Amino acid sequence: MDRWKGRVALVTGASVGIGAAVARALVQQGMRVVGCARNVDKIEKLAAECQSAGYSGTLIPYKCDLSNEEEILSMFSAIKTLHKGVDVCINNAGLAHNEPLLSGRTEGWRNMIDVNVLALCICTREAYKSMKERNVADGHIININSMGGHRMVQSADEHFYCATKYAVTALTEGIRQELREANTHIRATCISPGIVETEFAFRHHNSDPEKAAAVYESIKCLKAEDIASAVTFVLSAPPHVQIGDVQMRPVEQVS
C-alpha cells in the first residue's frame, strides 16, 4: 500500500457500515480520503477519530446526495480544486427497498436504480476523467457489489435490489473492457460480499426490526472490516495484476 500514501480516494456512502470501515482503513494506510454521504455528521466524527488515532492519512467529509447528478458533478469539481483529483474511486453506496417486482412502487425501484447503478456509473466516469486529465495510469475503480449480483435471493423483497447488483457485475466487466480499449493500466474490481453485519438490514426492513435482527443472528456474519481488508488487498496487488471479482461470504452462509 506504500504507493498509495498521500494519494486521493473517494469513498461513497462513507458514513456507516462498509463505507466507514473502508474510509478508516485507507486513512490508516496514509491516503487522503474524501468520504461522501447525504449526512456527514458521522463522517466528521470518524475523521476526528482517525486524527486522534494518529493515522497518517486524512478523512475529508463531503455532503452529497448521490441520486442527484448535479451534486455528484459538484463534488468532483470540488475534489479537483482542493485535491487535484481522484486516484481511487470506491463505489460503495447502495440501498434496498422492499419493492417486489409484481407489486412494488416505481418510486422505490427508481431510487435503487439512481443510487445503485447510475451514481456508480457517474462516479466512475468522472473518476476516469480525473485520472486521464492528470495522466494517472495506475488508478483503481472498486465497486462494492453483493453476492446478490451473482444469484437471485429467494425473497420478493430483494428481487429488484438483486437486479441492480447484477447490473454492477456487468458494469464492472464493461468498465474493465473499456479501460483495456483505452490502453490504460487503470484497474476495475468488483467486491461481492454475502451477509455483512451493518445497518443495512435495519434500513431495508425498517418496519420490522425483529426481521432485520434475525438476518444477523442466524449465522456468524462478515464484518464491515472484512470488506475493508478486501479493498486494501485489491489495492495492494502489483500494478500488473488485475483482480476482477472478489466473492466473499460467511462460512455458514448457504447461498
Taking the CA atoms of 142, 168, 121 and 226 in sequence, report the sign of the dihedral they define: negative
CB atoms within 10 A of CB 222: 21
Q: Which of 67, 58, 78 is nearest to 12 (CA)?
A: 67
Please state, in angstroms and as integers, the Cα–Cα distance from residue 136 to each residue in 49, 127, 172, 185, 226, following that order: 31, 11, 19, 9, 28
Distance from C-alpha of 171 to C-alpha of 159, rounded to nearest angstrom = 18
Q: Which of 62, 161, 166, 216 is catalytic?
A: 161
Instruction: Verify whether residue 166 is a known catalytic residue.
Output: no
Residue 106 exposed, middle or buried by CB count within 10 Å (0-12, 13-18, 19+):
exposed
Distance from C-alpha of 29 to C-alpha of 13, rounded to nearest angstrom = 19
User: Residue 11 is inside which H or E element, if any?
Assistant: strand 8-12
Could you list the active site residues?
161
